[in-house]
């Protein structure tokens, strides 16, 4: 497996890239061709990515992560939908969520209705963007390779990324590790206590 990390991203998001390498290092990566982290090529903002599955001549998974910024950035994410049965909603919106598209489906002669739900996740830095989009695309690889349970969908991948970003934010040592990994443990602890 090969890591392809843009020099600019490595300089600005050392902690995020280090976290991602350590996080993925806890799994079987023998079927991964490469993980690429760069500034992107499409003119989109914020952070985005893609996980390619083995297909045709491509024998392994490929994870491509782009973090063009600028940061801070409000990342648009998907949340569990609200199902509507006989005018009754399956749940209410949670704080920070808002209604998206209202959908009607008549497959099989049975009408189903739901409301897509969206939210915004603040990405305060390029490090946070690498952690979030890295965890999102890693979810697709890990689920497809059956290394974690769950349904392999975008809502689930967004929730997984939200959880990993929250863990990363809650652990100052993880944020410092990529920057000051050569410091003795007692020095890292002192810095962590000072920042808390």
What is the average pLDDT value for the chain, to the nearest integer? Answer: 87
CA 23 – CA 74 distance, rounded (Å): 24
pLDDT at residue number 175: 60
Query: pLDDT, tens digit, for every residue of 130-163?
Result: 999 999 999 999 999 999 999 999 999 999 999 9
Query: pLDDT, tens digit, for every residue of 43-61?
Result: 678 899 999 999 887 789 9
Query: pLDDT, tens digit, for every residue of 94-112?
Result: 999 999 999 998 888 888 8
- SS3 of 11, please? helix
HSE-up of 77 (CA within 13 Å, CB side)? 27
In which band, very low, low, confident or very high, does the pLDDT at 188 lie, cut at 50, 70 and 90?
A: very low
pTM passes above 0.75: yes
Report the 10 Å Cβ neighbour count for 194.
8
pLDDT at residue number 171: 82
Residue 36 gets which letter from DSSP? Answer: E
């Amino acid at each position: 497996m090969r890591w392809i990390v843009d020099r600019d991203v490595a300089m600005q998001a050392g902690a995020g890239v280090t976290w991602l390498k350590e996080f993925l290092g806890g799994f079987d990566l023998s079927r991964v061709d490469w993980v690429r982290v760069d500034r992107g090529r499409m003119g989109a903002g914020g952070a985005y990515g893609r996980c390619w599955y083995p297909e045709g001549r491509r024998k392994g998974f490929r994870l491509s992560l782009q973090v063009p910024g600028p940061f801070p950035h409000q990342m648009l994410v998907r949340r569990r939908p609200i199902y509507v049965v006989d005018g009754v909603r399956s749940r209410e919106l949670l704080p920070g969520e808002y209604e998206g598209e209202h959908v009607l489906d008549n497959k099989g002669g049975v009408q189903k209705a739901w409301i897509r739900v969206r939210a915004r996740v603040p990405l305060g830095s390029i490090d946070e963007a690498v952690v979030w989009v890295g965890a999102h695309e890693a979810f697709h690889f890990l689920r497809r390779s059956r290394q974690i349970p769950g349904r392999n969908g975008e809502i689930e991948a967004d929730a997984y990324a939200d959880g990993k970003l929250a863990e990363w934010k809650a652990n100052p040592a993880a944020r410092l590790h990529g920057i000051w990994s050569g410091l003795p443990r007692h020095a890292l602890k002192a810095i962590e206590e000072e920042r808390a």
